[in-house]
Amino acid sequence: MKTLKQILVVIVVVVFCSCAKQKVFTEKDIQIIPKPAELKLSEGAFEFSEATKFVVADDFQKEISNVLISKFEKASGWKPQITNAVPNSNYVQFTQDDTLKDEAYQLTVNNDNITIAAKDHAGFLYGLETVRQLLPVAIESNDVALNTEWVIPSLTIKDQPRFQYRGLMLDLSRHFFNSDYIRKTIDRLSMLKMNVLHLHLVDDQGWRIEIKKYPKLTDVGAWRVDQENKPWNARSTNSPCEKGTYGGYLTQDQLKELVKYAQLKNVEIIPEIEMPAHVSSAVAAYPELSCFNKSIGVPSGGVWPITDIYCAGKDSTFKFLEDVLDEVMTIFPSKYIHIGGDEATKINWKTCPHCQKRIKTEGLKNEEELQSYFVKRIEKYINSKGKKLIGWDEILEGGLAPEATVMSWRGTVGGIEAAEQGHDVIMTPGTHCYFDHYQGPQNEEPLAIGGYTPISKVYEFDPVVDSMTPEEAKHVLGGQANLWAEYIPTTKQSEYMIFPRLAAMSEALWSPKESRDWNDFSSRLETMFKRYEYLGINYAKSMYLITSKVRMDLNKKAVYVSLKNEFPNTDIRYVLGNKNLKESAIKYKDPIELKETTIVKASLFKNDIPVGKVFTDTIKFHKAIGDKVEYVTPYNDKYKGAETFGMVNAIRGTKNFHDGQWQAWLVDDMGVIIDLEEEQTIEQVTVGSVENQGSGIYFPTGIKVYVSEDGATYKEVGNVERPFEINPTVELKDFKIDFKPIRAKFVKVIAKNLKTTPSGGDAWLFVDEILVN
Ligand code: TNX
């Protein structure tokens, strides 16, 4: 006979359980990124509680369970326990299933328990990461989240990766990032089931790995003169005598710790030791590594072309590299060593007696083949230690090393060629994988290197190219996002560029191709944003930004403004003039027609509430719209803008000087004559310009305005002067020249070019519009 107390307990438990399980889940509630290969929702749910046990069979399972348990401890206030024995109910269990593929897992959730079946550590880890993403986002909270039910739906998931290589590259050289940040990045990779962290440890601007046999690599090579106040590509050359103070490096102990940590997260760290170019930092430390033993300082910014490279003739260079690689291989157990190989300008090799001798004795045709010899010799060494070599696609030039894996960055062509030759390939084309590119409209984004790779573009990435045969496609191991760090001085900026684009990359590399669906992904992403917020990740909200396209109809003298953003079926609403967006916004459908100077304000709305940043643009009409423009000095062929009417079409250029709106002059001054068609009273001329010193583009140093009634005799009516100033940003500016009202039919504007940049190069002058009023 049961006692009354026992019966009561049973009733309470039943009532309690059935309450918790009242939540009915639909597919929409499941917001996992990357999307699992197969998912079947069933009725019911599992609720985590203080009594939930994690049943583990080994230390790895214990360690990964503890990570989730500590999240419960913080977010729920209670701590599930670990056990080796399977309880009657309410548990999470790991079960071995050797029939599953590498990294695959099967997750079964029912009212009573959860099982994660896998063959390997990775599978167990990913099963648990999926459980984490099934839980309410508050599981990421550092404070107790009250009123949260820790319930996940009953379901079966059968999941496995499409590609075995799913990577992210961090460039630690252009700006240094410490262990702490790398550790966080490893966590974030594994949350997205990414399994490679490629560390770019060597480049011109800093050597970032301790090598005990060559201490100067870090004593000297890890530090540069601080010129962070100047644009990357306008930094001056440092003398070897000047001591560097800006930089840093990772010790071997720190790197070993990271490797160990990454193993727990199924992330393989692949070190990249660049050669033969991108090594100014090493040459600064040991000048004898270069052809002519040239003493140089560690560069503080852009170096182009890269000529201070390793000598390929001296045997001592190879001795040095073998010593370095020996130490590298004791730190990193990875199957691969990346040796760079990109962007070597081989002019020193052409005149270096050692290199020329090598070309002769090895029977090589030219310097390209000498690079190929270099890489093959290093590959032999790496292979002899049981490792494989990866190089950037330049290693194809002059003949590929026999076992090499190619990382294709200049598009997919190199990858295709390597696969045709039967080599393995990792695809990282700049178009889809370069996270140093802009992800939103350039005017709204923090300074970046250039390019435009919004998250929707990353999401389209497919490492397998249509033209490949099935045999070639098998050689495609996967893909990788690269975050080059010339323009990434802080961890905040690094996070901003990586997230949320990494989520798109992870789905492109993990999920079956057939399940790719931008609408679905972008809605799941909003849940991921909430996770990022709890985790303190400075993710970009660029996909909320509105971009505009402006078109001019010269006959109607009307401008048409179209608006869009990256979310599908977006509800964009706008107002014209000074109206309030919240109160008066109208839904955007077709391009907005404007015939006079107007302010356009727009925002994305969600559930009738404006979200994201408000878009504002003023379309300025003026007296010269659509008028004939004659060029005193012709614009440069590379930047024609909108040709003849470009200067007077009311369409403004953006900070992206390739946007097709800019006309440019190299060294020459700008000189134009506008024919107003009939005599008019005018009192102001405005010249729109952009400055991007890193790209050699400078504001005019002065502007003069002349007017004429007959087009023959001109009279100067106004001018401005503007001396050169260092400017680390990209800036748009309207230069206004006011004068006493005057009647005129012709307006001549001369803008002075800086002509010579501070570092002695040719200066560009860019103009998008001349407004006459
Ligand atoms: C090219 S990608 C490089 C890097 C730069 C990057 C900037 C590659 C192998 N080389 O050195 O940082 O462009 O986007």
Q: Confirm or reject: Cβ of 129 under 6 Å from ligand 1.
A: no
Is 132 within a domain? yes
Q: Confirm or reject: Cβ of 410 under 6 Å from ligand 1.
A: no
Amino acid at 636: N
Q: Confirm or reject: Cβ of 434 under 6 Å from ligand 1.
A: yes
Is 743 within a domain? yes
Distance of CA 768 to the CA centre of its chain: 29
Tokens standing for 660?
A: 């097709």
Which atom of ligand 1 is nearest to 437's Cα?
14
Query: Rounded to the nearest whole angstrom, what is the distance from the C-alpha of residue 495 to the centroid of ligand 1?
Result: 19
- Which of 585, 619, 653 terminates a domain? The answer is 619
Residue 480 — very low, low, confident or very high, per pLDDT cuts 50/70/90?
very high
User: What confidence score (pLDDT) does residue 10 get?
Assistant: 47
Q: Are strands 670-692 and 628-633 parallel, antiparallel or unpaired?
A: antiparallel
- Are residues 354 and 488 located together in one domain of the fold? yes
Question: Hey, whose CA ends up nearest to atom 7 of ligand 1?
Answer: 484
- Are residues 502 and 423 located together in one domain of the fold? yes
Q: What's the rounded Cα separation, in Å, for the pair 111 and 19?
A: 12
- Are residues 692 and 763 located together in one domain of the fold? yes
Question: Hey, whose CA ends up nearest to atom 2 of ligand 1?
Answer: 409
Query: Burial code of 440-478, b = ≥16 C-beta within 10 A, e = fewer?
Result: bbbbebebbbbebbbbbbbbebbbbbeebeeebeebbbb
Question: Hey, whose CA ends up nearest to atom 9 of ligand 1?
Answer: 342
Is 165 within a domain? no
Q: Confirm or reject: Cβ of 532 under 6 Å from ligand 1.
A: no
Q: How many CA atoms lie within 13 A of 120 on its CB side?
A: 11
734, 770 Cβ separation under 8 angstroms:
no
Of the listed ranges 129-143, 516-530, 633-647, the one predicted with least confidence: 633-647
pLDDT digits (tens, 9 = 90+) for 554-575: 889 899 999 999 988 789 999 9
Is 646 within a domain? yes
Q: What's the rounded Cα separation, in Å, for the pair 591 and 573?
A: 12
Q: What's the rounded Cα separation, in Å, for the pair 668 and 636?
A: 9
- Are residues 417 and 559 located together in one domain of the fold? no
The rounded percent of the chain whose pLDDT value lies above 70 is: 97
- Are residues 182 and 154 located together in one domain of the fold? no
- Are residues 174 and 212 located together in one domain of the fold? yes
User: What confidence score (pLDDT) does residue 643 get?
Assistant: 80
Please enumerate in sequence order all residues whose Cβ is within 8 A of that of 48, keeping only pairs 6 or more positions apart, or say none: 72, 76, 80, 135, 150, 151, 152
Local structure of 678: helix, strand or coil:
strand
User: What confidence score (pLDDT) does residue 644 get?
Assistant: 77
Checking if the pLDDT of 156 tops 90, the result is yes
Which atom of ligand 1 is nearest to 171's Cα?
12
- Which of 535, 561, 583 terminates a domain? The answer is 535
Is 471 marked active-site?
no
Amino acid at 491: T
**Full residue range of the structural domain in which residue 592 is found:** 545-619
User: What confidence score (pLDDT) does residue 4 get?
Assistant: 52
Query: Rounded to the nearest whole angstrom, what is the distance from the C-alpha of residue 484 to the centroid of ligand 1?
Result: 6
Q: For the domain that residue 326 is a member of, what is the CATH number?
A: 3.20.20.80
Is 164 within a domain? no
- Which of 512, 535, 558 terminates a domain? The answer is 535
Query: Rounded to the nearest whole angstrom, what is the distance from the C-alpha of residue 404 to the centroid of ligand 1?
Result: 20
Q: Confirm or reject: Cβ of 409 under 6 Å from ligand 1.
A: yes
Q: What's the rounded Cα separation, in Å, for the pair 187 and 538?
A: 15
Task: Point out the catalytic residue in the list 149, 343, 417, 709.
Answer: 343
Query: Rounded to the nearest whole angstrom, what is the distance from the C-alpha of residue 759 to the centroid of ligand 1?
Result: 22
Q: What's the rounded Cα separation, in Å, for the pair 276 and 532?
A: 39
Query: Rounded to the nearest whole angstrom, what is the distance from the C-alpha of residue 434 to the centroid of ligand 1?
Result: 9
By the 10 Å C-beta count (0-12 exposed, 13-18 middle, 19+ buried), 678 is classed as exposed
- Are residues 93 and 189 located together in one domain of the fold? no
Residue 456 — very low, low, confident or very high, per pLDDT cuts 50/70/90?
very high
Q: For the domain that residue 600 is a member of, what is the CATH number?
A: 2.60.40
Question: Hey, whose CA ends up nearest to atom 10 of ligand 1?
Answer: 342
Q: Confirm or reject: Cβ of 392 under 6 Å from ligand 1.
A: yes
pLDDT digits (tens, 9 = 90+) for 579-588: 999 999 999 9
Question: Hey, whose CA ends up nearest to atom 12 of ligand 1?
Answer: 484
Is 505 within a domain? yes
- Are residues 655 and 563 located together in one domain of the fold? no
Q: Which residue has the tokens 């998250």?
A: 455
The rounded percent of the chain whose pLDDT value lies above 90 is: 94
Which atom of ligand 1 is nearest to 428's Cα?
2
Question: 315: how many CB neighbours lie within 10 A of its CB?
Answer: 10
Residue 689 — very low, low, confident or very high, per pLDDT cuts 50/70/90?
very high
Cα separations (Å) of 157 from 36, 42, 60, 570? 7, 11, 22, 31
Beta strand ranges found along 257-367 (DSSP E):
268-275, 336-340
Is 202 within a domain? yes
**Interval 55-63 mean pLDDT:** 97
Q: Are strands 571-576 and 598-606 parallel, antiparallel or unpaired?
A: antiparallel
Residues in the chain: 773
Question: 596: how many CB neighbours lie within 10 A of its CB?
Answer: 10
pLDDT digits (tens, 9 = 90+) for 188-214: 999 999 999 999 999 999 999 999 999
Q: Confirm or reject: Cβ of 214 under 6 Å from ligand 1.
A: no
- Are residues 511 and 366 located together in one domain of the fold? yes
- Are residues 551 and 531 located together in one domain of the fold? no
- Are residues 54 and 152 located together in one domain of the fold? yes
745, 676 Cβ separation under 8 angstroms:
yes
756, 764 Cβ separation under 8 angstroms:
no
Q: For the domain that residue 32 is a member of, what is the CATH number?
A: 3.30.379.10
Report residue 285: phi and psi, to 5°: -80, -40
Q: Which residue has the tokens 């190879």?
A: 318
Number of domains observed in the structure of the chain: 4
User: What confidence score (pLDDT) does residue 759 get?
Assistant: 85
Q: Confirm or reject: Cβ of 487 under 6 Å from ligand 1.
A: no
Q: Confirm or reject: Cβ of 709 under 6 Å from ligand 1.
A: no
Query: Rounded to the nearest whole angstrom, what is the distance from the C-alpha of residue 451 to the centroid of ligand 1?
Result: 12
Q: What's the rounded Cα separation, in Å, for the pair 773 and 770?
A: 10
Which atom of ligand 1 is nearest to 174's Cα?
12
**Interval 697-717 mean pLDDT:** 97
Is 400 within a domain? yes
Q: Confirm or reject: Cβ of 257 under 6 Å from ligand 1.
A: no
Q: What's the rounded Cα separation, in Å, for the pair 761 and 88?
A: 77
- Are residues 258 and 376 located together in one domain of the fold? yes
